[in-house]
Amino acid sequence: MKRTLCPFLTFFLALTIACNNNTDTTDGTPDPDNPPPATINYTVLNVFPHDTASFTQGLEFYDSILYESTGSPEDYGYPSWLGKINPKTGKMDNKVTLDSQYFGEGLTVLNNKLYLLTWTTKTGFVYDAKTLKKLGQFAYNTEGWGLTHDSTSLIMSDGSSNLYYLDTATFRNTRILGVVDHNGPVSNLNELEYFDGYIYANQWQTNYVLKIDPSSGRVVGRLDLSTLVSEVANKFPGYNYLNGIAYNPASKTVFVTGKRWPNIYEIRF
């Protein structure tokens, strides 16, 4: 089951990706027309607590409040929920629990409406962002993984190499963006965030956050958070994969975390 794979696979997947990063032409020289993604460097500014019961699926700032959505793996014993994170405790002050049939996925907030995906049930929910009162629901044709917006459309991932643009009124698919790098299509796109004109995506089962140009679908940058993953692994052996990106426009910093992580990290690129 996709949500419960062991984190030790990260090493082997990262090794495989590294071995496949062939940017040479047939004569062995680099291809200037098809370069690999640029390396994004970062600095850790702050570390905040995070509830290790949260199997993080979505993370987002809105009106200076950090929202989180979670999933519910079979071996976990918890339902899915979403709510507002208390930065002092890492726990949710105001929490909504989903019915057991739904596996919570990515979320985003636009115009005071919180949009939440579910994994395989092809059902999304709409809530009032301030009260978390349910306002409605919508349907889509793929699995639901990550969710963000560009102030006009919702942008959804389904674990493939495609991103789907949805109309916020009808929820119809208006565009499919194929994501590629120097090696071809890039799959396992998961949690999403949009800021400064680019889409950022956690690549599930890796320690990477990818920077995607929405005009072309090309991966133009890659953030390697292996150091943070190692730190978390040493603190909390029950941790799971990196997942969760939230841009804070007030501080122009990025908050990252993972499934069952004890920490949320504030970083600056």
For the chain, the domains span 50-268
* Residue bearing the bigger pLDDT, 3 or 185: 185
- What spatial distance separates the first Cα and last Cα of the chain, rounded to whole Å? 33
What pLDDT is attached to residue 137? Answer: 97
**What is the pLDDT averaged over residues 157-164?**
98
Which are the contacts of 126, defined by CB distance < 8 A and separation ≥ 6? 113, 114, 115, 116, 134, 135, 136, 137, 138
- 3-class secondary structure, 227: helix
How distant is the alpha carbon of residue 69 from its chain centre?
A: 11
Is 126 within 8 Å of 133 (Cβ atoms)?
Answer: no
With 70 as the cut, is the pLDDT of residue 264 above it?
yes
Token pair for 105: 């996925």
What pLDDT is attached to residue 32? Answer: 79
What pLDDT is attached to residue 20? Answer: 44
Token pair for 42: 């970062």
With 50 as the cut, is the pLDDT of residue 7 above it?
no
Residue type, position 59, single letter: L
Which are the contacts of 33, defined by CB distance < 8 A and separation ≥ 6? none
- 3-class secondary structure, 232: helix
User: What is the spatial distance between Cα 10 and Cα 152, in angstroms, rounded to a whole number?
Assistant: 35
What pLDDT is attached to residue 98? Answer: 96
What pLDDT is attached to residue 14? Answer: 44
Pairing between strand 123-128 and 263-268? unpaired
Q: Is the dihedral of CA 121, 124, 125, 130 positive or negative?
A: positive
H/E/C letters for each residue in 2-13?
HHHCCCCHHHHH
Determine which helix (DSSP H) or strand (DSSP E) holds 217, and give its type and residue range: none
| Residue 174 zone, left/alpha/beta (φ > 0; ψ -120 to 50; rest) | alpha
**What is the pLDDT averaged over residues 210-236?**
97
What pLDDT is attached to residue 142? Answer: 97
Q: What is the mean pLDDT of the chain?
A: 90
50-268 CATH pick, 3.40.50.20, 2.130.10.10, 3.40.190.10, 1.10.260.40: 2.130.10.10
| Alpha helix ranges (H) inside the chain | 9-20, 226-235
Q: Which residue has the tokens 């098809």?
A: 34
